[in-house]
Structures are given as C-alpha cells and as structure tokens.
Amino acid sequence: MKKSLIKIIIFTLLFSSLPIKILAEESSIENNNVSATKIDQQDIVEIAHELNVENSSNLEMQSLESDNDTSITTNLDNSDLEAFVEINFNHKSEELTVNSKFELEPGKEEIKNYNLFVHDVNGDDILATLIDQETGDVYNIDSTEIHASIAPAIPVLVAFLGKFGIKWLMKKFGKKAIKSAVKDLNKQLKKKSLGKGSTGRTKARNLEEQIAMKSVLSNPLKGARQVVPASKMKDKRWPGKKGWVKMQRIIEVDRGRKKINIHFNYNKKTKKFDDFKFKN
C-alpha cells in the first residue's frame, strides 16, 4: 500500500506530462435524457495552458448534460494507476459533488465521494474544500501549496484531476456560479434529523459554517463528545430516560484557522439524531 501511495504522489507531481481521457459512459447522472458533447479542441488547449499541462493533444474532454445536471468525467488508465473522477454540477442548487474511484493495487479499488466547495480560481491556482460524504473528513486544497500538502494522496489527486472539470464548468456557467456560496441547509438537516424542533441557530452565516455543518451531517458521531448526559436531558422532546444525550463536534475550517462548534442530540437506544445547531 505504501508503494502505491508513493506512486500516486509521484503521479500528482508529474501530472502535466500524462495523457488523460474524459469519457461519458461511466457518469452517475441519473436522468436518462442525457446528451454528450465533445468539448471544442480550442477550449481544451486553453484549459491545458491555464493549468500548465503540456500534452493537450492527449487530452479528450466530454461533457454530459441532463435537464438537472452537467458532469465532466475523467478516466485515467496507465501502467501505474487507474483513476476515475467525475465532477457533477447541479443546475438548480449550484452544488458540486465529486465521485472518484482509484485502483491503488491490482484488484484493490478505493471509492470516494465528496462534496466540493470552490473558494477561488485564479489561472491554474484553485482553492477548494472537499468533504468526504461517508466519513465527514474535511480536506482543504490549495494548489499553490499542493507539493507540500499533508492531505492524504487521494483527495490531492482528486483535486488535480478535478481541475479540468472545474475550469470547463467555469467557462460554461461562469465563475460566479461555480464558486461556492452559502446555501440553505434545511434539506440536509431534515434528512438527518427527526424534526422534533430546534433550540438554536441552524442557518450558516458563512461558507466555513456551511462546510462544518455538512461535515457533521455526513458522519455526526466521528470525533463527537458527550456534553450533556441523559440524566440532565429534561426537554420533553428529547428525554434522557428514553436514551437522549447532547453531543458536540468542533470542526476546523479555513486550514485550521477557525473552529466551528456544533451541538446535536443523539439517542443511544434508537441511534437517531436531532436538533443540530451552531453554538458560536
């Protein structure tokens, strides 16, 4: 495994010299009414130039569009690594998600899905955040510091491969649409919560708070600690005698410069969650 990770890091650092193909058939767009459009070669050359990628003749890009989504799917297959990365842009919510699959060793695949937040794009420099949809782990990606990044190799490689899709989506929909903005979290909160009520603020004041809440909703108990035991849970909606306790998560954002404090109620008997809220 260690040798495979080294190969990935080497690939990342030498990315500009490797051929890439973007294929349509592996996309996860659910709408069957999908149209595939081959991206103009001049656009490919321009994107490659902006990202300092030399072999633009080896770069084929294809977009998939439905009524609700547009996606760019990247598929890399060489002697050292097989990699699949898809960036999906939802037209209505303007949210970006990433689906990825890597074969680190023969017969051993790693599948990762992320929420993607693009903070800024300037030439070939991209500042973004990835949230692992399964674990809730937050990865801050700054391409200007990527060679010194301590982030795991998979998110770093996802960010590099995803550059092409991000740049193309910006050309099509505009920088303002692709750059992440604060969105309403109500839908995500409803999916994870029982809906018995709220005792605090649920609306994110800024993008950092939104990222923190999405991280918690992905995997509430990871890194959580109990702050109110069952014996002190007196609210009739979440009585301690029925298994409810109050939990706390502290999420570091903005590359560790900010800490977001989030509380939620957890039922140890039913394994259900409720009353997610910001505490700072």
Please write the tens of the pLDDT for every residue from 48-63: 565 555 554 445 566 7
Output DSSP code: residue 201: B
φ, ψ of residue 240 in degrees (nearest 5): -60, -35
Cβ 262 vs Cβ 249: under 8 Å = yes
Least confident of 12-26, 88-102, 144-158, 263-277: 12-26
pLDDT for residue 239 is more than 70:
yes
Identify the pLDDT of residue 179: 81
Polymer length in residues for the chain:
280
**158-to-40, 250, 262, 279 alpha-carbon distances in Å:** 24, 26, 28, 32
Least confident of 168-177, 211-220, 244-253: 168-177
φ, ψ of residue 257 in degrees (nearest 5): -80, -20
Identify the pLDDT of residue 28: 47
CB atoms within 10 A of CB 246: 20
Per-residue pLDDT, averaged over 91-119, amounts to 86
Confidence of residue 23 (pLDDT cuts 50, 70, 90): very low
The tokens for 70 are 């547009």
Could you give the CA distance from residue 150 to residue 228 in angstroms, rounded to a whole number?
Answer: 35
Cβ 69 vs Cβ 50: under 8 Å = no
If one compares 216 and 169, the residue with the highest pLDDT of the two is 216
Buried b (16+ CB within 10 A) or exposed e, 191-215: ebbeeeeeeeebebeebbbbbbbbb
pLDDT for residue 252 is more than 50:
yes
Confidence of residue 46 (pLDDT cuts 50, 70, 90): low
Q: Please, what is the average pLDDT of the chain? A: 78
